Every structure is written in C-alpha cells, then in structure tokens.
Amino acid sequence: MAGRDFVHRLPDSELAFARRQALLWRLHVDPPLLVLVLLICGVGLVVLYSAVDGDVPRLQTQAMRLGLALGVMLAVAQVPPRSLRRWSLPMYLVGLSLLVAVLFIGVSAKGAQRWIDLPGLPRFQPSEIMKVVVPMMMAAFMADRSLPPRFGVLCVALLLLAIPAALIAVQPDLGTAILVTGSGVAIILLAGIQWRFVLAAGLAGLAALPALWMVMKDYQRQRVLTLFDPETDPLGAGWNIIQSKTAIGSGGLYGKGLMQGTQSHLDFLPESDTDFIIAVMAEETGFFGVMVLLVLYFLVITRGLYIATQAQDVYSRLLAGSISFTFFIYAFVNIAMVSGLLPVVGVPLPLVSYGGTSAITLMAAFGILMAVHTHPKMRRA
Amino acid sequence: MKDTFTLRDHDAEARLFFGRVMVLWGVVVIALLVLVLRLYQLQVVEHERHAVQSDANRIQVQPIAPTRGLIYDRNGILLAENLPVSSLTIVRERVPDLEATLADLRELLDLTDAEIDSFKRRLRERRRPFESVPLRLRLDETEMARIAVNRYRLPGVDVEAQLIRHYPFGDLVGHAVGSIRRIAREDLAHLDRAEYSATRYVGRLGVERHYESYLHGRVGHQRVETDARGRITRVLDRVPPVAGENLRLHLDLPLQIAASNALGDRRGAIVAIDPNTGGILALVSKPGYDPNQFVGGVDPADYAWLRDHPDTPMFNRALRGQYAPGSTFKPFVGLAGLAAGETTWERTIHDPGFYRLPGRSRMYRDWSWRPGGGGGHGTVGMQRAIYRSSNTYFYDLSVKVGIDRLAPFVEQFGFGRPPALDLPEASSGVVPTPEWKRTVRREPWYPGDSVNLGIGQGDLLVTPLQLAAATAIIAAEGKRPTPRMLLDADGDLEEMRAPEQAPIRLADPADWQRMAEAMADVIHRGNRGYGQNGTAWIHIGRDIPYRMAGKSGTAQVVGIPQGMRHDDLELSERQQKHAWFVAFAPVEKPEIALAVLVENGGGGSSVAGPVAREVIDAWLLNRLEGAAVARN
C-alpha cells in the first residue's frame, strides 16, 4: 500500500529535521497552508471591495477581522494536540451548556435565537464554537477506542453529535447545524465505520425524508420548493436564486470586470456581500475567476487531508481530517446554494463573505491543522 | 487503558484511516467537479440567456407621457390646463406587504377609508406590470416631507411629479369643454397601446374627447438603467415626447358667464352660436358639475350623488336633452310652407282658436282657446301667425305641406341629424316620419300626427343645440356652417378644413328676411293693444336698444285631455311645461343666434325670453366690458 511510506516516515528523518530548523516550523506554522489561506483572504478582500461597493471602512473592518483571525490561528497552532485532546471534554461540556443557555437567555436576531450576550464579553454564537468543539470531542472519544468502532461506540458518538446539532437546528440555524453534523459524520467515516453501517444510515436517511418534510418550518419547505422551480414566485421566494443565477450566468467566461457587475451594483442581488458573494465574483470575474478560488479551496482541503494522513495519533488524524472535510462542506454548500443546486441555507463562503465570526472559527481550525502538523508527533509505545 | 492500547493495531488503523481519507478526498474531487460543471453550465452554456436577463433587469424602456394640449376660449383664456402635482404612488410588485404599507401610510398621511378603497379599486383594474398606481393626488409639502423621511421603510412607495388636468372654471365650462378620466379597461381596447403607454388620462366627454388625438400628443421614450428598487440610475438615451396641440374654442368665457348667470339656478340649457361661422359661443347646461372631480378618479360617494341627483347634474341638457320644440318650430314650418308653395305671406285664414281636420270632430286647440269660445286670433297671415304664435295657422299649414315634404325640409336645418362637428355625444333628436313611426312605434301615420308637428309637438324631439343651430341658419339666410367648438389650433386639424354644407335655397330668398322680420315682431311689435302685440314684447321688447328676432315656445310635459285647458290641470313642478326661446340679433346683421330652454319653466316668452335677452345683451352691449373682465 502506498500509504505505508507516509505512515512509516520517521519524525527524525533528515527532511523533518531540516524543517524543524526553520523559523516558521518553530512558530508551528505550516507554510503551504498559510500561503493558501492568505491567498484566499486576498482574493476575498478584492471581491468584497466590489461587493460592498467600494466602501473602504467596511473593507478595513473585514481586513482587521481577518488579521485577528490569523492571530487566533497562530495562537491555536502553539497548542500541542495533546492539550487539545485533554481539553476536548471540558470544552464540549461548556459549549453544550452555552447552547442550552441560548435556548433560555439567548438574544434573537432576524427570527432566530442564536446569540448570547454576557456582560464583559462581546456578543457571540455558541453554535460557532461547536463547529470546532464537536469534532474535537468526537475525535477524543474515538481515539480512546479501538477502530473501526463497534456499534455501541458508534451509538455514543452519534449521541455526542446529535445533541449539539439538534440544539443548533432548533435555534433555528440550519447552516451551522449542517456544518456541525458534517464535521461529526466526517469523524465517524474517518474512524473506519463499516460501509454497511454507512449504507444502512443512508437508506434510513432516505426513509426519514418525509418525516423531515413534516417537521420542517414553512419557510424551509418554501426554500426547497423554490430550488426546483424558482419561477413560481419570482418576486418573492424565488428572487434570490433567480438573481444569483442571472448574476453568475451573465458573467460568462471572463466576467464584466471588477466593480462592473450590474446585478450586484444595482442591488438586484441580495446578500451580495455575505452569503451570495460568490455570485458577485462570478459576475465580475467570470468562470475563470471562480476557478481560481475553487482551485485555492481544493488545495487547502488537499493540504488539510494530507496533514491528517501525516498525523501519528488517532486523535490528531481524525480531527485534522474532519476539519479539512468541514471546510470543504462550507465551500461546497455555499457555492451549490448560490448556483441553485441546493436550497438556500445560511452558510457563508469561507474566508470571503463579510463577517468575523466564521472567519475566526475557520482560522482557529486551521491553527489546529498546523498544530497537528508541526508539534512533535506522539510516539508509539 | 493500557490493555486496550496494547491491543490496538496501529498499522491497520493507519491504513484504514488512509483509505478513508482517500475516499473523502474523492468525494471532494467529485463534488468540486460538480460545481465546476454547474458554473460551466450557467456561465458558458446558458451565458447568453442570463446576459439578456441581466440587461432586461437593469435596462428598461420607459415611455414618457406627452403634455396634453391646452384649451383656450376665443379670448385666449385658459379653460383646461395642466398643473404639476406631486402624487403618492405605489408599485404593487415592489411592496412586500401591502396591508402593512397602507397602514403605515394611513398613519403618515391621515388617509381616509375612501381613499384606500378607491386605491384598491384602481389596483384591481388592469394595468401594466410595475405600473405605479396613485394613492393620493396633490400631496402638500408637509406630506411630501413625511414620505421622504420614511421612504426607506416603504419600498414601492414613491412620490411622482406629474401633470394633471385642471379646469380653472370648474362647473362653469364643464358641459362645454368636456372632461377627462383615468384610462380604464374598456378604453384600452380602442386606444393605441404604444401611444398611450405612459398616458393616464383620456378625453371622456366633449371637446376633450373629440380632439383626443390632437390633444394627446405623441409619446416619447427613454432607455434607463434602474436598480432593483426601480430607481433610475442613469438615462441611456431619450426620444422626447411631442406635446399635444393647443386648441382655441369659439367659446367666449364672458358670454358663458353671462349665460350661466342668466339661467341662474334653474334647470335648463343655453346654446349660443355665431351664425356666420357656426362657432358655439356659449354652451350652458344646468345644473352642472365640476369636471375636476373626475381627474383624480371620482370618489364613489360623490359619483353616486351626481348620478342619482333628481336634477341630473351630469346630464348635458344642451347636447343630449331632447325636448319637443313647441312653438319655436313654427318658423321652420312656415318656411316649409313657403318653399312648398302651400302658402304665401299674403294668404290669411280665420283662426277661431282651434283646428279640426276636415270631416273630424277632434279639436286641436290654440293656446288662446277657451272652453266657452271667444279665443283665437281672428284673421291670421304668416307674419301674424308668427308674432301671435297662432297654432291654428300652423296646424293647417302643416297638414297642407304634408309630412312627406315637411320632414325633408326641416331636416335641412339639422333636426333629426347629428348636430355638431366636434361634440360627439350630442343627440340627433327625432323628426317623425311615417316610416319612422312604422318601425319604431309600429303604428301607422295618422293625419293628427301632421297636425301636431305643425306646432312642434307630437313625436318631434330636438336638443337645445339643434334648435340654436337651426335658428342660426335662419339668421344666416340659409347658410349652414356646421356648429363647432373649435376656432383655431396650433396645427393643421382636419376639422378646420371641414367643408360647409350647401346653403338652403328658398324659391324666394327674400322669404328669409320676411321670416326674420316676423320674428322681430315677436319682440318689437308693441303698444298695439290687446291681441296685437308680439308675444314677447311685454317681457323683453319694450326697452331693447337693438333689433332682435325671436320666437317663444312651450313644450308640454304631460298630455292634456280634450276639453281642458293646460292651466286647469293641477300639475307638479316637474310636470310644468318647458319654456323655450330662440332668438338672433341684430336682425340686420346677425352676430349671435341662440336657444334657451328652461325645464318646467312655464311660459316661453315670460321665462325663457328674458334669459335670451340677457345673453344677447351681454354679447352685443357688454362685449367691451367682457373683454376687460377677461384681461383681469
């Protein structure tokens, strides 16, 4: 098996030794990942400049948030995976209590109760933290068991996942719930669950679709229906998706030029600086422009999965794999939604959409990837 | 823990993990490829369609309404103008929650329920997509400021500057100039959709309706780029509209005012015509209504009031009121008799106060008839028959001429015909003929029908406009310029080239003057003692400073049984006779001819005569004074 070579590379090989000498290595930074992330941030700021209509103060705000997020990434990268593993359970419990607290003392905005406002702290979304904490907890849980997991273990793992996911879904915050669930599912898959379980779960999921339809809220059903036929309500529910498809399609191969997008600059495109920013990019930079971003995303995911394969302990591996895959889900769900392949759910385009919370979470996750890759690997017994 | 740890096969786990990573990576590759294909589909395969849609989103061709032509009276006084107003409009398609928006606006502007109801009614009417619907016309400054401040939370609500029609003299000229109304569903069927794409109003009645195609102008266009809220961000190109033609009418506002005052609060109509041109100098129908009420879409309650009022203020009596002309018809019967050679100015008959058809017993009474006898006008020739208004003479003459010669002759004067060039809703009246009676009444023509026709009764119906026009023809000695409102226009209008009809020829053209003189006797023949004066002399002829020809008439509203006098009947106000007076002046060189109708007024000479005199006085005596009023 080709993988054997990777797995058996010794940490004190010459290459690794040379790396350790490097300053960046000592700072626990993975240069390829850093470069890719910086490139995405750069592309993102350029697109955002157009999406906010040249509003420099807003652009500066976003740049400062990204800077802060990079700081968070560097800070997290300093934490050895061992420590992360130890903190997983306490963090999970804290996160879970915060989610429960949101139910009772949360602050509502736009019809959803997602925020918590504690004195002395900036307002934050506990669900956001769970994007990282849930995979940490599940990886820690799995790492203590022999793999592939037995059925009982699987059930407990699913419970660890289902409780926070359900708490987030009822806020309601479908986008975050999907991302959290995705990160947990990634852990279970990476842990080596037998395919027959996967198959069974898939079939069960299909069977549960009607039940899911029943419990969905009206606006959620509307979004699903709109996906299939946006023209039924072109000025209402279908507006967003029609306008974003028009924006993307009218961009053509080369785009209309930066700041030249009529769909976004004349306000036909809603949420053009947040969830629908990829449509701005597609309209103004065309097919090739979006390809650049997709390639960058692909490289980040690949680098993340590579780091996962290089990790020596189960916890690091599972966590790194899950983080990389969640990043993929992030980008995929957003672009698929904006281009009309998936129903509209609130998932921003990672590192590009205007907003600080998700950038910080994402960077923290990249910090974990770097930590996994740069800290001395745990030796086998 | 340690036991478990030693039991683990790290190599196997790592292999398993590596395999799973590859699977996920495969999923990533496939999913990203799906995205690439989707983008390819949208941006390359369907690019053309989306590019067109994107332009269609932002670029709109907007029609620009032309400015409606102005209407002036003959002195250049504005009768219909366009006032700029700011009106509150709503584009339904851009309002997410109409009820909430209306509730907000109700609070901001103190909208009434009636306003909201009529807005909703307009909303239900067919209109173009994204066409704005007015909610309130004529916003004042405060209201505009309130809207401006709150506009951010009122999507689809806008303040539009537009020109609306305004009639400065309101009900004074309402029936003369006509009015406009909002374009409604039924109008769209016959209007040019492209030309009217920006126009909100169309001529409803009168001059406004007849000259619609000239008044309207030509639509302009601009291609504009708009944002998603429909606000124009830039104008790409523009074809300006062409304003409608300005019209000048024969109507004389001072005379119109004088006529309106002369009629006062009575129900009735006055039409005054310049016999030389056919130009309508005054056209009054009372009661009137204010055409400005219809500009913004009339309030349903007001409309119901106008419609159901017993005095029917919206009914144009001058154009559409059809009445028996009574004795005012006698000059025309007289001329018919002369033309047919059935009588001469010298021929006389004995008038005992009634007429009997040969071999019949039924009495056709003169107005002077008395049950005990002693009525009548004695020996009567044509002239005396006119100034004394002898019924007997004209019963006899009408029978002699016969319906087959009488009907075609009087039709030359416009009776039974559409009377005017440019008043589309004017009625034609009825000149009864045996054929008409057969088809409409399914009855044969009785000799009695001819008798009644001689004094303008029976089935004969005329409008005040027709009677004025016919009187003008006598004044003009047979010349027949078609009655018209239009005097002049900026452009070259078809109506200005309308050919004059051939004049009416009499065997002896001097008969025109003789008839005019006989009609002058109606007014001027006085101080001759009982039964010798003109019927109107006592009422208007004693102090008249110019020569005026006229004829009074009364039209019965209810039938009078044989053997009874009209005065004997107990009649309600609305069963009273209609009073008529036709006149022209000066007799030597007529400048004005008119017909006055006072509904249920009673005596023609006593009631309608003074009205006619007042109007002609205003035209002949007060013209200088009137012009001074107009200048101020």
Q: Tell me the torsion sign for CA atoms A262, A263, A268, A274.
A: negative
Q: How close are the terminal C-alpha atoms of chain B, in Å?
A: 112
The shortest CB-CB distance from A263 to any of B19, B54, B226 is to B54
- Tell me the sheet residues that pair with B486: B249
Tokens found for residue A231: 């023209």
Are B79 and B214 in contact by the 8 Å Cβ rule? The answer is: no
Contacts of B23 in chain A (CB under 8 A): 189
Token pair recorded at residue B330: 């006698």
Of all residues in chain A, the one with the smallest CA distance to B48 is A250
Q: At what angle do helices A314-338 and A174-190 cross, to 10 degrees?
A: 140
Q: Percent of chain A scored above 90 by pLDDT?
A: 54
- Which residues make beta-bridge pairs with B136? B88
**B64-249 maps to CATH 3.90.1310.10:** yes
Q: How high is the mean pLDDT in each 10-residue block of chain B (632 residues)?
A: 54 87 94 96 93 86 88 92 87 82 85 83 71 80 85 82 88 89 79 83 88 90 79 82 92 93 92 94 91 77 84 89 92 93 91 86 83 80 91 92 93 88 88 92 90 90 94 93 88 76 89 93 88 88 90 79 56 80 92 93 84 92 59 53
Q: Can you tell me which residue has the tokens 């005065």?
A: B567
Amino acid at A354: Y
- Percentage of chain A beyond pLDDT 70 is 91
Question: What is the rounded distance in angstroms from the CA atom of residue B295 to the CA atom of residue B137?
Answer: 10
Distance (Å) of CA B452 to CA B366, B377, B463, B603? 11, 19, 18, 19
CA atoms within 13 A on the CB side of A63: 12
- Taking only the tens place, the pLDDT of each residue in A65-107 is 999 999 999 999 999 999 999 999 999 999 999 999 988 888 8
Give the residue from chain A lying closest to B47, CA to CA.
A249
- Of the two residues B224 and A22, the one the predictor is more confident about is B224
- Whole-angstrom Cα distance, residue B580 to residue B556? 11
pLDDT of residue A2: 42
| A361 half-sphere exposure, CB direction, 13 A CA radius | 26
Q: Is CATH 3.40.50.880 the right assignment for the domain spanning B264-286+318-631?
A: no
Residue range(s) in chain B whose domain bears CATH number 3.90.1310.10: 64-249
Looking at the DSSP assignment, which residues form a beta bridge with residue A339? none
Contact between chains at B6 and A290 (C-beta distance less than 8 A): no
How near does any CA of chain B get to the CA of A102, in Å? 30
Chain B positions touching A247 (Cβ under 8 A) are: 50, 54
Say which residue, B320 or A124, is predicted with more confidence: B320
Query: Using alpha carbons only, how large is chain B's radius of gyration in Å?
Result: 36
Chosen for mutation from A9, A147, A298, A380 (greatest number of chain B CBs closer than 10 Å) is A147
Higher pLDDT, A378 or B85: B85
Q: CA torsion sign, B627 to B424 to B259 to B457?
A: positive
Question: What pLDDT, in 10s, does the model give residues A184-224?
Answer: 999 999 988 888 888 998 899 888 888 888 887 787 787 77
Most confident option among A56-60, A108-112, B155-159: A56-60
Find the residue in B nearest to A251 (Cα).
B43
Cα–Cα distance measured from residue B473 to residue B468, given in angstroms and rounded to the nearest whole number: 9
Residue A8 has pLDDT above 60, yes or no: no
**CA B361 to the chain's CA centroid:** 47
Higher-pLDDT residue of A375 and B567 is A375
The candidate with the shortest Cα–Cα distance to B337, out of B469, B508, B464, is B508
Of A190, A268, A332, the CB nearest to B20: A190
Name the burial class of residue A344, with classes exposed (0-12), middle (13-18) and buried (19+) by CB atoms within 10 angstroms of its CB.
buried
Q: Are A261 and A283 in contact (CB under 8 A)?
A: yes
Active site amino acids of B: 327
pTM of the model: 0.66
Q: Hey, are the CB atoms on A339 and B42 less than 8 Å from each other?
A: yes
Determine how many CB atoms are found less than 10 A away from the CB of residue B240: 11
Domain ranges of chain A: 12-374
d(CA B181, CA B165): 10
* Nearest chain A Cα distance for residue B104, angstroms: 21
Give the pLDDT score at B563: 54
**String of DSSP letters for A80-145:** -HHHHHHHHHHHHHHHHHHHHHHHHHPEEETTEEEEB--TTS--B-HHHHHHHHHHHHHHHHHHTS
Q: Rounded CA gap, A211 and A213, in Å?
A: 5
Cβ contacts of A314 on chain B, cutoff 8 Å: 13, 17
Q: Which residue of A has its CA nearest to B39?
A: A287
Local structure of B396: helix, strand or coil: helix
Instruction: Inspect the interface and report whether the beta carbons of A146 and B38 lie closer than 8 Å.
Output: no
Interchain CB distance below 8 Å, B24 and A253: no
Contact B483, B421 (CB under 8 A): yes
By Cβ distance, the residue of A148, A245, A247 closest to B16 is A148
Residues of chain A contacting B229 with CB distance shorter than 8 Å: 267
**A147 or B166: which leads in pLDDT:** B166
> Best of A240, A250, A339 to disrupt the B interface by mutation (most B CBs within 10 Å)?
A250
C-beta of residue B220 within 8 angstroms of C-beta of residue B238: yes
The pLDDT of residue A10 is 54
State yes or no: pLDDT of A227 exceeds 50.
yes
Distance from the Cα of A338 to chain B's closest Cα (Å) equals: 11
Average pLDDT, rounded, for chain A: 87
8 A C-beta contact, residue B222 and residue B232: no
The two most distant CA atoms of chain A are separated, in Å, by 65
Beta-carbon-side half-sphere exposure of residue A144 (alpha carbons within 13 Å):
15
Distance CA A71, CA A81 (A): 18
Judging contacts by C-beta atoms under 8 Å, the chain A residues touching residue B58 are 262, 266, 268
Contact at 8 Å (CB) between B463 and B427?
Answer: yes
User: What is the interface pTM, i.e. ipTM, of the complex?
Assistant: 0.90
